[in-house]
Each structure stands twice: as structure tokens, then as C-alpha cells.
Amino acid sequence: MFQWTEKSPAALQAGGVIGPDERLPWGQSTVMGVQHLIAMFGATVLAPLLMGFDPNVAVLMSGIGTLIFFVMTGGKVPSYLGSSFAFIGVVIAASGYVGPGSNPNIGVALGGIVACGLLYFIIGAIVHVGGTGWIERFMPPVVTGSVVAVIGLHLAYIPIKNMSPTAFDAWMQAITFVSVALVAVFTRGMVQRLLILMGLIVASVIYAVLTNGLGLGQPVDLSGVANAAWIGMPNFSAPVFEANAMLLIAPVAIILVAENLGHIKAVTAMTGKNLDVYMGRAFMGDGVATMVAGSAGGTGVTTYAENIGVMAATKIYSTAIFVIAALMAILLGFSPKFGAVIQAIPLAVMGGVSIVVFGLIAIAGAKIWVDNKVDFSDNKNLLVAAITLVLGTGDFTLKFGGFELGGIGTATFGAILLYALLNRTR
């Protein structure tokens, strides 16, 4: 069994950090696990809803996938595996899903997800044996920093465009991110480390007072919590393997490689620990987790930038908190009532929290540039970063027959290919 070295909260009070192989006392680690659960929840539930998948299955598989990743990396890489947005476009194209509700052709989409996971695992095995040198030649810090930054910027439209349907909701988003900022700056100790969770609680209380009390907006509705069962089985589905769908969805593995590489580089920059030696095992772990998820009706999974944003803010990188978050997610997958509680959090409050988290992701990408002293007086670096950021933020899309590459995909491949082109001309 993996053992963590326990550190006292005094270490945090003194401005220290908690490394991947360390942990706080279990009580505080559990609270931190709740914060990471909340950070991943919105996106992990939103992705399956957009594809017509069962959110409870997606949450359950995210927990199982995170435990698989923990085992495959020997407990050395702090990451949470949640639903990947890279699958949305190709799954909709492969299954013909028009929404809303359940996806009637979910089986063919799941077959493609399993194929993607297998390809991802094979790439990981090659990296594990041959090292990451060949990847890093194509993805130096200017590229990985750009990819990480653009993930946060690309996701910015979700809370701003989709999670504030009214003027009141927009104001509540502002109240939420200000609440998080006030907690981050003006509190100390564990309260400060729990800035996301504490800010969410404060904003939810304010929201309830303004809506349920003063009638200024959509009131908090707890009827779903009252009516939901404590324990219930998710709606599992089986994959159907069709060549067209598999060929359409499997190439997403390349995006996941770039995404995962960028995430691990970001965590390396934040922790000061070289995690490159675990890169191949991380890819394989993510690949196995994606195959398991696709075999049961879940979405493909990836290391989650949302949780990296939380780590950047808290300076707590213990893998123990991700094990706790994973176990909670598994319980959530089998508990409709707990899921109803999370889903009762006002949309605007979740949107305000998402603005903070996605912003922290973008800053994590910039930190890669700073830590690696990327020289932006070099036009090669300047243009790679500039073009990548606009491609991803503007959701630049290219179509190849039935295959659509947009947003993060075009930014990722654009950064890699543009750097290779400009570097070759030297």
C-alpha cells in the first residue's frame, strides 16, 4: 500500500507546500478531497449531458479512472481524471446525436472511445520504453505552456455564455468570484487553502438569501434532493464496435496526449518535482481508464485542468486527496441523492467558481513559460504562442469529411506543427 508522509498544518501556515508523496492529517485531506470533487464535478457532468450519456455513470467512471491512474503511476502524479471535452464533437458526429436526453446510438460512440483508449495506451507504452524525448522535441515549453493556457481560455465561454442566462445570474457570478478572491487574500491557514470550497459556500448562502428570501432570482430548489434515492444503480451501456465510428473517435488520443503532457508539465512546474519519468505510465493509466469508462457507458477521460487549478491555488499536491476525491466520486455515482445535492448548487455560483478555476489554468500555462524562461524576443516563440492562444480561444475549426477538429484540437496541433515548421527553417 502506498504510504504518504504526514505533515502538520503548521507547515502550510509557514508558507510551505504539501508534495505528492505527503499529506495533511486525514480530516483535512478529506476536506481537500471534497474541494477537488466539486472542482471536477461541473465539467465532468456537463460533458456527458452534451453527448447524451448518463452523468452518474460518467462521475462513477471518473472515480474508478482516477484510482486506475493512481495505481499505474505508483501514486506519484497528482491528477484527477474526468470527462474529456475533446470527445464531444466526434461522439456527436459518430452517433448522430441531436439531443436532448439519452443518446440512442451510445453503443457506437462507446466503441470508438474504447478504441481511442487502446491507441492512447499504445502511445503510453512507447513513451514508457523510449522516453519522452521524441515528444518533447515537438512540444518544448513554449508549446506546452501555450496548450495549457489555451485550455483555460477555451473553456472560458462555458461559464460566461452558458451559465449566466439572466442579468441577476451574471451579478451572482461576480459575487462568487469576488468571494473566492476575498477568501484567497484575506484569510489564513486551512480556510485560505479551501478558497474554492469556502467561496462557493459563501456565494451559495448569499444566493439563497437573495432568491429564496428576497425573490430576486430563481430560488434554490431542494425538491430534487428530497425526492432522490440514497442508493441507485447508474444506467450502464455496452460498446458496439463499428469501424467508421472507431476511425472517427480514436484520433482523439493525440489530443489527450498533448493535454496530459501539458498538465504534467504544469504540475512539474508547480511542485518542483520532475514527473517526466512517469509520463508513459500516466498515458497508459489514462488509456486504461478511458477503455474501462467506454466499456460501461462513460465518457473518455483525461487528467483534469480544473483540479490542477485548485492545486495551483492551494499549494497542496498530495495524491492522497485525489484518492479521497475518487472514492467520493464512486459513492456519488451510486447515490442519486448526493448527486442531487451537488446539482442543487445554483448554476450562477458554479459559473463564478468556473471563472476562477479556468483562469488559474491559463495562468498555469503562463507559469510554464516563466519557469522555463521562454524567450519571446524570438519570433518563433512569439508567433507559436500568439497563434495558438487565438486558435483555441476563438474555437478555430477545421473539417476533414465527417471529422471536425476545433478549439483545443486545432490549437494543440497548430502549436506542434507550427513550431516544427518554424524550428526547421532555422
What's the pLDDT tens digit per position in 96-130? Answer: 776 556 788 889 999 999 999 999 999 999 998 88
What's the pLDDT tens digit per position in 348-377? Answer: 888 888 788 778 778 878 887 887 888 899
Residue 72 has pLDDT above 90, yes or no: yes
Higher-confidence residue: 285 or 258? 285
Q: Is residue 105 part of a domain?
A: yes
Among 60, 68, 18, smallest CA distance to 37 is for 60
At residue 81's C-alpha, the angle toward residues 281 and 356, to 5°, is 125
Q: Is residue 7 part of a domain?
A: no
As for how many domains the chain has, the answer is 1
Q: Is residue 354 part of a domain?
A: yes
Task: Tell me the average pLDDT across 176-185.
Answer: 90
Q: What percent of the chain has pLDDT over 90?
A: 21
What is the residue-averaged pLDDT of the chain? 83
Contact status, residue 264 vs residue 279, Cβ threshold 8 Å: yes
Q: Is residue 1 part of a domain?
A: no
pLDDT band at residue 290 using 50, 70 and 90 as cut-offs: very high
Q: Which of 21-30, 72-81, 197-206, 306-315 has the lowest mean pLDDT?
A: 306-315
Using DSSP's 3-state secondary structure scheme, residue 317 falls into: coil
Q: How high is the pLDDT of residue 256?
A: 82
Q: Is residue 69 part of a domain?
A: yes
**How many CB atoms within 10 Å of residue 172?**
26
CA 110 to centroid of chain Cα atoms:
20
Higher-confidence residue: 154 or 203? 203
Task: Tell me the average pLDDT across 253-281.
Answer: 81
Residue 289 has pLDDT above 90, yes or no: yes
Among 274, 279, 329, smallest CA distance to 303 is for 279
Residue 229 has pLDDT above 70, yes or no: yes
Residue 14 has pLDDT above 60, yes or no: no
Contact status, residue 25 vs residue 7, Cβ threshold 8 Å: no
pLDDT band at residue 325 using 50, 70 and 90 as cut-offs: very high
Q: Is residue 12 part of a domain?
A: no
The CA distance from 184 to 224, in Å, is 32
Q: What percent of the chain has pLDDT over 70?
A: 91
What are the residues facing 23 on neighbouring strands?
A: 6
Contact status, residue 258 vs residue 265, Cβ threshold 8 Å: no
Q: Is residue 5 part of a domain?
A: no
pLDDT band at residue 284 using 50, 70 and 90 as cut-offs: very high
The CA distance from 366 to 343, in Å, is 32
Q: How high is the pLDDT of residue 190?
A: 59
Count of helix runs (H) and strand runs (E) in the chain: 21, 6
Q: How high is the pLDDT of residue 99?
A: 59
Residue 345 has pLDDT above 60, yes or no: yes
Q: Is residue 120 part of a domain?
A: yes
Contact status, residue 285 vs residue 66, Cβ threshold 8 Å: no
The CA distance from 300 to 312, in Å, is 25
What's the pLDDT tens digit per position in 402-412? Answer: 666 767 778 87
Domain that holds residue 381: 19-219+228-425
